[in-house]
Structure 1
Amino acid sequence: MTLLPLRPRRLSCAVRLSLLCLLPGAAFAQQAPDSTPKTLDSIQVTGTRIKKAELETQVPVQVLTREAIERTGYSSVADVVQHLTASGASLSTKLNSSGNFGFPPDGGGVGAGAATVDLRHLGPKRVLVLVDGIRWVNESSGSGVGSSVDLNTIPLAIVDRIEVLEDGASSIYGSDAIAGVVNIITKKGAEGGHVEVQYGDYNLKGGDTSSIDLSFGGSSERAQWIVGASWFKQKEISSREYEWATVPVPGTGLANGSSATPQGRLVFADPSGNTYNITSNTGVTKPVFDPSQTGCTRTDDYHCFTTADRYNFAPNNLLLTPNERKSVFGQVRFEFSPNVSGWFRGLYSERESANQAAPEPFFLGTDAGVYNEWAETKLVISANNPYNPFGFDLTTMGANPNLFLLGRRPVEGGPRRYEQDVKTWYAAGGLDGVFEVNQRTWNWDVNVMSSESKATQTNTGSYNVKHINQALGDPAACAAIAGCVPLDIFGGPGTITKEMLGWISPIVRDRSKNTLSLGSANITGELFDIWAGPLSFAAGAEWRRYKGEYHPDPITIAGEYNGVPSGVTIGSYSVKEGYVEFDVPLAREGFWGKSLDLSIAGRYSDYSTFGGTGTGKIGLRWQPADELLLRMSFAQGFRAPSIGELYGTLSRFDATIVDPCNNAASTTPKCVADGVPPGYEQANPQISVVTAGNRELEPEESRSFMAGAVWSPSWAEDSSWASKLDLGVTFYRHTIDKAIQAPDAQSIMDRCIDSRDAFACASYTRNDRGQIIRFEDILANLGTINTSGWDFNAHWLLPETGWGQLGFDWKATWVTRYELINESGQAEPKGPGIEVSDSAIPEWSSTFTTNWDYQNWNVNWTMRYIDRLRESCAGANGFAICTDSAADQHWLGATTYHDAQISWRTDAWMKGVKLAVGVNNVFDKNPPICLSCTLNGYDPGTYDLPGRYTYAKLSLDF
């Protein structure tokens, strides 16, 4: 069979189409390609700085066009990229993060209200986000110095397309591009105006979304411009709307509920040395304590604390967090001469968002483990306190303290509410042009950019533990303090009065800021001809400066905040870089087929924090025939430590940890060796873990390998059954050394108990009652990450008939390996097919889209598949909900979501009118129950929000 000559644009389009099949609606109805050969202008695509006519490079670039994005029904850049099959779990408005996750070890805060992107499950910090090829400022979380980009600061209204490179690209773009690059290409101009209005709603109560996008542009002989504004509002959904989110862990009742209850839990010793673990009876204003009743059979107003007394915190949380975003933007391009142009781009955005958690508990006593002296070592609940029913002091002071744990949930103060106000501005400009060298065209550009993201977070419903201490002490001492009111924490709900709350409940305000300034210069062109064609190159230099700061509320700095303590973080660093890239044609039209090209790139970076580092990349592109493309690349990469990782001060986050030595296990030899006394019962599953930045951190280093093929068989083109058929496959492998991490706290404890690992056992401290009172988890270059897998894609476009044109797109990712090796050379539990720590790596995930175009109509149906996962029963052994209690395994079944959209467009009104209606999760599929997930009974980073989402969208061009 004789192969047909390949039209210059054919394989390029084939590559793009085969890689577009990631999202609903990525299939296109295209006219049959013109058979006349065309000459393509040189352009630059993500993954290389060299401008060329060939769009298919040595690495695959997934291009998400505006048309494909609109067919998803998504309202944000984050929603679009988070649904790629190669994306991992990352922040979104489905994650009700504040208050429950504390301060993560990287010093970046919880990023409440933000949305990030994770590629290859390597974390958002290892993905570089660009806007028109230029870096975007990192987010400000309100609770730390963020190290990844908040995609909510980039309105979807300005996006023309999104290019996603899932390969290491540090030699081209510098730090952070270990897992890949997301390059958001903005609209450069328009002729006239565009209005787009969308409304959507879930079948759960709340969660409705509204958006309005406006833009207007024009052009003259030498200028092109566009301005616009965007508004988006999403309302919250309470956890009470989803049945499986209304218990702490679905199917286990209150077994994993909180021991801090509205009635209060007390573990203490009386003057005779008798120890009690009791709680007051419901509805008791001032309970009566009978010291003669030392057992659990009591006639006073107390009973022994049991699982049935635990508090169900789940209904107070949110399934979907509220989020309102407003932005204005503009861009202008002016041609000074035929060879020199200038441009300017500006954006300002605001975000108001919120998170909510159950009423904040406070834990007092020597076993509290909250790293607060007012709660652990300086507390005396005076016998003179009018609400103390015991008749003696309860104290944590001195050689013989008798107050071990007092947990109280002051529901009178309402839920914790965290409200964020984030402002981001961005300004960039530059010059670019062309000139000739030996009759060869060279392109150059010079760019400058300055940007800032500033956030404040206001927290209500939290408490001042110093004021609690004072209110529980001697009433005479309290009376001497202005505003102090004695506190009643021994009765049931309602005993804490408004006046008491006024003394112990402050409004906590935190603020943070990130700034980025940069300047860059690039040049690209053809140097000279060699045996197989012109030798092309690109070279450039870049300077960047990062500044970040986080200022917690003064009561937090003073150590009085009952919640998660932290200190001030301030830091900055600068970097100077230079790079060079070559594209070397090795063969043309001969033994090696149509073409064989080699690409070589290198970059050197000089950081003010740790010095210099270099990276390189080599790629091979082989087209043995018109319809077949083979390619491979090997790249070195690195990620510089972020400001939070370097300069983050001592802070705390509360990790949910199941102590392996709890209850019956306390007498095993391993637990005895760990200092656990017989009959030990873990007081609280939430263990406070102290973390901090580390100025001695070194950059992470990576190696990435990619090999793949794209096949567009000519025998399938313009046949009776196909207008086009494109098939693609890519193998990837990433290895990261010196990964910056704080080891997983649960894994540390398990390792210590199982193997007496010295590092693990030195990380935490128990008191003589067995309770964990100190847990340290400091950042270091500890880990090695190895991951590999395959991407598959196919695009099949049927011939156009009188019934329109039908197309099918399939995209799948198969993760064959993910291994995180800790500092002791052992593998952490995270891996393919496993749910752990509120995130998962499905072995298989895929998207299959059917697209039908008929005249002015388009119908799109998408199926999204997530493979089954397994998790530990998370302390649920013996419960029926656990799939296999004996093996400590629970399976989360495979899940398939169905999305549909129908749209109609006409040019008869104005310049164009388009109406679209759609449903995401057509069959109202609920996510599988997750036992180990912290909130709401499912993993929101892997699965859709429970409930069907229906939307309508109207677009007008004028």
Structure 2
Amino acid sequence: MQARRHKLASAIQLAVLCALPVLAVAQEATTLDTVTVTGSRIKRAEMEGRVPVQTLSREDIERTGLTSIGEVLQELTGSGSALNTKFNSSGNFGFSPNGDGVGAGSAQVDLRNLGPKRVLVLVDGMRWVNESSASGVSAAVDLNTIPLALVERIEVLEDGASSLYGSDAIAGVVNIITRRDFEGGQVTLNYGQYDEGDGEITGADVAWGFKTDRSSLFLSLSYTDQQEVSSADRPISAIPIQGGSSRILGGRYAFTDPSTVFYDLSVKPGQTNPVYTPGQPACGPGVTRTDGFQCFDFGRDAFNYAPYNLLITPSERTGVFGQYRFAFTEQLSFYAKALYNRRESTNQAAPEPIDLGPGAGPTYTANLVIPANHPFNPFGFTLSGGPGGNITTIRRRPIEGGPRIFEQQVDTQYFAAGLEGSFGGERQFFWDVNAAYGKNEADQTNHGSYNARNIAIALGDPAVCAATAGCTPLDIFGFDTITPAMLAYISPLFRDRSEQELTQVTANISGGLFPMWAGDVEFAAGYEYRKYEGSYNPDPQTIAGEYNGVPSGATSGDYDVNEAYVELNVPLYAQKDGAGKIDLSLAGRYSDYSTFGGEFTPKYGLRWQVAEDLLLRATYAEGFRAPSIGELYGSQSRFDAQLVDPCLVPPGAPAGSVAPIACPGVPVGARQNDPQIPVLTGGNPELQPETARSFSAGLVFSPSFAEAVSWSDKLDFEVTYYRHNLEGPIQAIDAQTQLDLCATTQDPQYCTGITRLASGEIDTFANFLVNLGSIKTSGWDADVFWTLPESNLGRFKFSWQNTFVTQYEAIGAGGVVQPQSPGIVVNDSAIPEWTSTASLDWKLGNWNAAWSIRHLSEMEEACVAADPSEFCSSPTRNVLEEITYHDIQLGYDFDWLKGLQLTGGVNNLFDKDPPVCTSCSLNGYEASTYDIPGGRFFYVRANLRF
């Protein structure tokens, strides 16, 4: 330990010496008597403009009409794509390639398009436990585990901050400040729905608190119920733009018969018990069969899975929060807080397909044998899927079993306590000691999936089935052939469970060290200990390899970290009249991880108060993100990717077409019948931390000529340039890139793990996590805030916030530049070049109103629609036109008890539909960026204080 302390001291000294010639800064927002603001650990009376922090007050949050912290943060101009209740995840996305499950029902935040796992989420300055959604061990926080009712304000630092907060703070920090100074009671009721009559949201919050000279108590109870919106109820989402699925209702049967003739058949519509006539000609153009089968044709037979999906997933959340504070003396106080939150959410997908034969997934269904004497085998000969067997593929969509329904129950517990104090005379020092524990437990129940072992038994030897308890021979040949008794045997419930725990202890001290010619040198220092524990336990049937759906194994792991940090603020210059001032800020943190060892991260900043109305600032920071439990220890799982196989003829191509690339082992003319390809992924215990370098520079201009004059009370301009360079990001090779590189180079580096069936279609696709490539992004924030003087027309406040992304470059395998860039949509992730939000607030007497305008610039994507002429701007590209949303709100305050406020509003006033996205996985639009189609949302809220 002594050696580590010596290393930390040497590193801080080196940081101080190296920082002197560097132009860099820190930033914050909020000025109280003596405060700590996100982005600095030093308590100061003067904090304004030190770092780029955006503060969302409770009034700002209520103006949005939204009921989730995640939804509020996703409307920030600097936010990127992240999960929310508009992502119908389970059953559709499989397991993500980064080992964290699917985040079903969660809401996350992404800053600077660097991903949710690179954003640190704090509650009152302490880390929040990462999410559990019963399908993995995530590296991101689920904001739906934090009730909106307990929020006083949210501070968002859009700058690298690993030196102050440790791992994960690469893209920025979200610090949620809870309500504490509250007297009396408050009841808030809200209701909203879309103008289509669906998606209802009901909510009720109750808050109560008291304050005395020495103590305070705040209690809150919150309830939110978000109802679903079906994909079938909007035209854009009611059809699969990519062309449907080859897992069809009557079944697809590709096999070689005893005379070695290959057939690729589907059941004729309406045939419950199709009759097979042997000896008919092999399938080809113009071939017509005279029995109950026809030659399979994707364009004619494809299944429309879209109506079974959800545009908004239902989510019911109940939270209880309490916070108590007691001051023993003026210099010593104690606090304790506790939270319990339950989220019950549901995802839904189309009926789960049953695949049999090579590439089917589980061994039971891949190698099954359907004997000739099976009572429902219409072909009269044995069908075998094992080595040397005659099945190429059998695919059946058993609509009789209904849709797949995934129900999550997520329980969050949080406890924290600490002591805060101060000492000293003229030079004050502030200290605090804190301990916190957070736990997320998630259970997911899966209805409508199948047991592959039972399918194989029910389709196998009738004598074995007869001797097996509960077995009923299964009929998959035809339409509507599966009876309730058959379903009872092959369709049990599947229950998965995951949990994460975070234990942390921190100690901090700050104050003035000694005076210099320009003022006091201020400091903050501290120690932090954290322990992470996480596990994912799939249903025993899944672990045994019997699950017919996406396979996965159990994950379990833990690690801990010891950290120490120092932050200094050194005044270099100050005019006697206080108009001009230059401050240098320095920070460094040493982190010792049980998984990979030590890491030191420095940060340097410079703040130059040129004049009373002009501030210049800049920062340079180094950061890192430690690999998470899921990334280190995640078991082999699968996610389903929408991929274009360059070795196969694309779906819908004319007869006689050839593949773009002739690949070894792929028959000429072989077609890609399904754009959804299963990809295996998993963790890697050899992963190293991601490292980052961040730079920001900007100005704050508050012209004195616009202060307290007839046309302006206050006018502020803020401009910030940002740049993040990330090296060795933890990721799998982009699946499409790996597939393309394998096809073009045949290099084992990319082809190992990709195997194909005799038909040419992909059988297995292994794609595991590594430290790969780099990510670079840069851009500008430009904001205007204007408060007008009060007049007979009322009081107006105007804000206009903008983010311009000038660069986003991700380098992947083989030095290949990934397709993501500003103005491009890829893999359900959009990066607009320009995002803008303008808001006008008005208040006159008891009336208040707000009007917000949200703008997203034009983007484009690769066209992967089945019919490019209908959905795309050209045969290969699709333009997502720019869009502007208008939100309005009107409220009135009644002088009843301590106040009754009634508010009503409409989001997406002019009912703008999102642009069609052909490459997005579901519902035909990009769900983390745009409002849902048919999305005019009306809401009312009543807020009573007593």
TM-score with structure 2 setting the length? 0.94
Residue of structure 2 in register with 1:388 after alignment = 377
Contact 2:609 2:616 in 1 (8 A): yes
Matched to 2:45, the amino acid is A
Residue of structure 2 in register with 1:114 after alignment = 106
Matched to 1:283, the amino acid is G
Residue of structure 2 in register with 1:799 after alignment = 789
- Select 2:893's aligned residue among 889, 897, 905: 905
Residue of structure 1 in register with 2:363 after alignment = 373
User: Does 2:55 match 1:63?
Assistant: yes
Q: Secondary structure at the match of 2:272?
A: coil
Contact 1:565 1:652 in 2 (8 A): yes
The 5-angstrom pairing of residues 492-511 of structure 1 reads: 492=479, 494-511=480-497
The 5-angstrom pairing of residues 761-776 of structure 1 reads: 761-776=751-766
Matched to 2:824, the amino acid is I
| Pairwise CA distance, 1:446 | 0.1
Residue of structure 2 in register with 1:314 after alignment = 306
Residue of structure 2 in register with 1:882 after alignment = 872
Structure 1: distance between partners of 2:399 and 2:579: 74
The size of the alignment, in residue pairs, is 910
Contact 1:592 1:624 in 2 (8 A): no
Structure 2: distance between partners of 1:517 and 1:669: 55
The 5-angstrom pairing of residues 484-563 of structure 1 reads: 484-492=471-479, 494-563=480-549
Residue of structure 1 in register with 2:713 after alignment = 723
User: Does 2:937 match 1:949?
Assistant: yes
| Pairwise CA distance, 1:592 | 11
User: Does 2:879 match 1:891?
Assistant: yes
Matched to 2:820, the amino acid is K
Contact 1:741 1:783 in 2 (8 A): no
Residue of structure 2 in register with 1:750 after alignment = 740
| Pairwise CA distance, 1:755 | 4.1
- Select 2:557's aligned residue among 571, 592, 605: 571
Structure 1: distance between partners of 2:659 and 2:402: 45
Q: Secondary structure at the match of 1:933?
A: coil
Contact 1:443 1:523 in 2 (8 A): yes
| Pairwise CA distance, 1:766 | 1.6
- Select 2:149's aligned residue among 154, 157, 160: 157
Judge which range, 679-688 or 138-147, deviates more. Answer: 679-688
Contact 1:116 1:124 in 2 (8 A): yes
Matched to 2:533, the amino acid is K
| Pairwise CA distance, 1:730 | 0.4
| Pairwise CA distance, 1:371 | 3.1
Structure 2: distance between partners of 1:734 and 1:871: 24
Structure 2: distance between partners of 1:40 and 1:744: 48
**CA-to-aligned-CA distance 1:770-828 (integer Å, 9 cap, x gap):** 12111001001012000000001001222221111222210010000001101311111
- Select 2:246's aligned residue among 255, 259, 263: 259
Matched to 2:463, the amino acid is A
**CA-to-aligned-CA distance 1:214-267 (integer Å, 9 cap, x gap):** 111112221111111001101111111101111111xxxxx6210111100011
Q: Secondary structure at the match of 1:597?
A: strand
Judge which range, 944-953 or 539-548, deviates more. Answer: 944-953
Residue of structure 2 in register with 1:211 after alignment = 203
The 5-angstrom pairing of residues 276-287 of structure 1 reads: 276-287=263-274
Matched to 1:542, the amino acid is E
- Select 1:733's aligned residue among 704, 723, 726: 723
Structure 2: distance between partners of 1:262 and 1:673: 32
Matched to 1:433, the amino acid is G
Q: Secondary structure at the match of 1:879?
A: helix
Residue of structure 2 in register with 1:919 after alignment = 906
| Pairwise CA distance, 1:476 | 1.2
| Pairwise CA distance, 1:757 | 4.7
Superposition CA RMSD, Å = 1.7
Structure 1: distance between partners of 2:685 and 2:671: 38
User: Does 2:377 match 1:412?
Assistant: no
Structure 2: distance between partners of 1:671 and 1:388: 39
Structure 1: distance between partners of 2:673 and 2:658: 19
Residue of structure 2 in register with 1:90 after alignment = 82
Structure 1: distance between partners of 2:123 and 2:32: 24
Identical amino acids, percent of aligned pairs:
54
Structure 1: distance between partners of 2:865 and 2:893: 55
- Select 1:938's aligned residue among 922, 925, 940: 925
Task: Give the gaps of 5 or more residues in structure 2.
Answer: 1-26
Structure 2: distance between partners of 1:267 and 1:40: 73
Structure 2: distance between partners of 1:942 and 1:70: 20
Structure 2: distance between partners of 1:669 and 1:548: 45
| Pairwise CA distance, 1:662 | 2.2
Contact 2:134 2:442 in 1 (8 A): yes
**CA-to-aligned-CA distance 1:583-633 (integer Å, 9 cap, x gap):** 000000179961000000000000001111110000000011110011000
Structure 1: distance between partners of 2:865 and 2:905: 41
Judge which range, 569-578 or 299-308, deviates more. Answer: 299-308
Q: Secondary structure at the match of 1:71?
A: helix
Structure 2: distance between partners of 1:662 and 1:529: 73
Residues 670 and 899 of structure 1, relative CA distance in 2, 3 Å threshold: closer
| Pairwise CA distance, 1:675 | 2.6
- Select 1:222's aligned residue among 171, 189, 214: 214
Contact 2:646 2:659 in 1 (8 A): no
Structure 2: distance between partners of 1:779 and 1:58: 38
Residue of structure 1 in register with 2:188 after alignment = 196
TM-score with structure 1 setting the length? 0.93
Matched to 1:912, the amino acid is G
Residue of structure 2 in register with 1:584 after alignment = 570
Residue of structure 1 in register with 2:15 after alignment = none
Residue of structure 1 in register with 2:166 after alignment = 174
Matched to 1:733, the amino acid is R
Q: Secondary structure at the match of 1:142?
A: coil
User: Does 2:825 match 1:835?
Assistant: yes
| Pairwise CA distance, 1:373 | 1.1
User: Does 2:304 match 1:304?
Assistant: no
Residue of structure 2 in register with 1:237 after alignment = 229
Residues 135 and 209 of structure 1, relative CA distance in 2, 3 Å threshold: same
Residue of structure 1 in register with 2:699 after alignment = 709
Q: Secondary structure at the match of 1:672?
A: coil
Q: Secondary structure at the match of 2:869?
A: coil
**CA-to-aligned-CA distance 1:92-143 (integer Å, 9 cap, x gap):** 1111111011111222111111111000111110000000000011111111
Residue of structure 1 in register with 2:66 after alignment = 74
Structure 2: distance between partners of 1:50 and 1:808: 31
User: Does 2:438 match 1:451?
Assistant: yes
Contact 2:871 2:916 in 1 (8 A): no
Contact 2:865 2:871 in 1 (8 A): no
Residue of structure 1 in register with 2:586 after alignment = 600
Judge which range, 520-529 or 400-409, deviates more. Answer: 400-409
| Pairwise CA distance, 1:670 | 7.2
Structure 2: distance between partners of 1:436 and 1:495: 83
Matched to 2:291, the amino acid is D
Q: Secondary structure at the match of 1:663?
A: coil
